[in-house]
Structure 1
């Protein structure tokens, strides 16, 4: 059975320029190993030094490639994600029950306001780090773990009801 061909993404004018530079380098230095960081830096410097007239050739190539890409994607070429295959994300049922919370999340819900009051200049990430540190030394984790166990039971009951209703429909 033939393998489904994936839609190749469109290339930018700069990508065409780098591809051309690479081909020229291979012709001048066959068999030589290319150090990507140095090669990339030199290409970038050349590209910045080029005027609009010199870049026009590569911009035309990019326009043609964009037309090819648009034509293939309109025809339903494989992949459908800009040439990157993979699974599509499932859409979540908006009526599905909310997942149960872990003990850590119950802890965070209780402690977040205290951390915000104590450290008003903290951003979201800093607050999360502080909550993580406090969770590590939390003396009453059992309380929050019990809340999580109770919420897990709630979730399982709601899921059972939700999916049994769906099976009836």
Structure 2
């Protein structure tokens, strides 16, 4: 017979199932991770209750009446007792104060547009940093915990810590001074170690910032080429790069008239600019074009020389300096078909 449909097997299986109620295991507490959130410090503070308004004002007064040795818990109990003994008329004043604070919160909440919560991340401790010294009680508990745990094996760590606290309170002054002295020695040792470590970290950060500044691209447009390009600066290479980017710079290098030569002022002159008379004629044409088209850029770059140039006069030919002439002696000769005088 098929075991799946065998009633005997099903009866045995049903008998094996326990009839007692199952008890669920208690839920484990979620560990706090670095992704937890906290209230944003710039967010509006919530409104206070009448009791909080009363406690904020009266807490210091009640604490002064109880003396400087009063515990925080005792002061809080006294404040609550005074609040309970107030009449309805006296409590009405604090209710009005709470209502004003509630209106303040509503206005700030309506105008606030920022986040209400921000992620709180714990700062990771540097593993190489010196460790802080323990307190005198922790040194005492570190020594006595194994003994107490051996005498009370059934107690949990929290209960053992309570026993150690009672033992520390009942400890003699001489025995307690041993651990107090050890704490002082460890603190002095820690101060020296942490100061040396801070200096080392400061030097490390300074070196990292220096490397970052050295490798960082800096705008040196206002500096000289030697400062801009450092030891790799090559004037010939930079001139070639500039000429390759500007087509008008591919003509022969310009020369300059002497300061007092002829009737023309000192100016840059070469194949990529016009001769003196033609330059004046071209400047006059630019002015007319600017008056006709108002709003255009006035300082437009000069256009390359054109083959259709007006003929030159004899006086201009006599005062003409050839671009290849490196001296100040003018070159004279009959004009060619471009309007330039020939060079003998």
Give the alignment's TM-score, normalised by structure 1: 0.49
Structure (1/2) with the larger helix percentage: 1
Give the alignment's TM-score, normalised by structure 2: 0.25
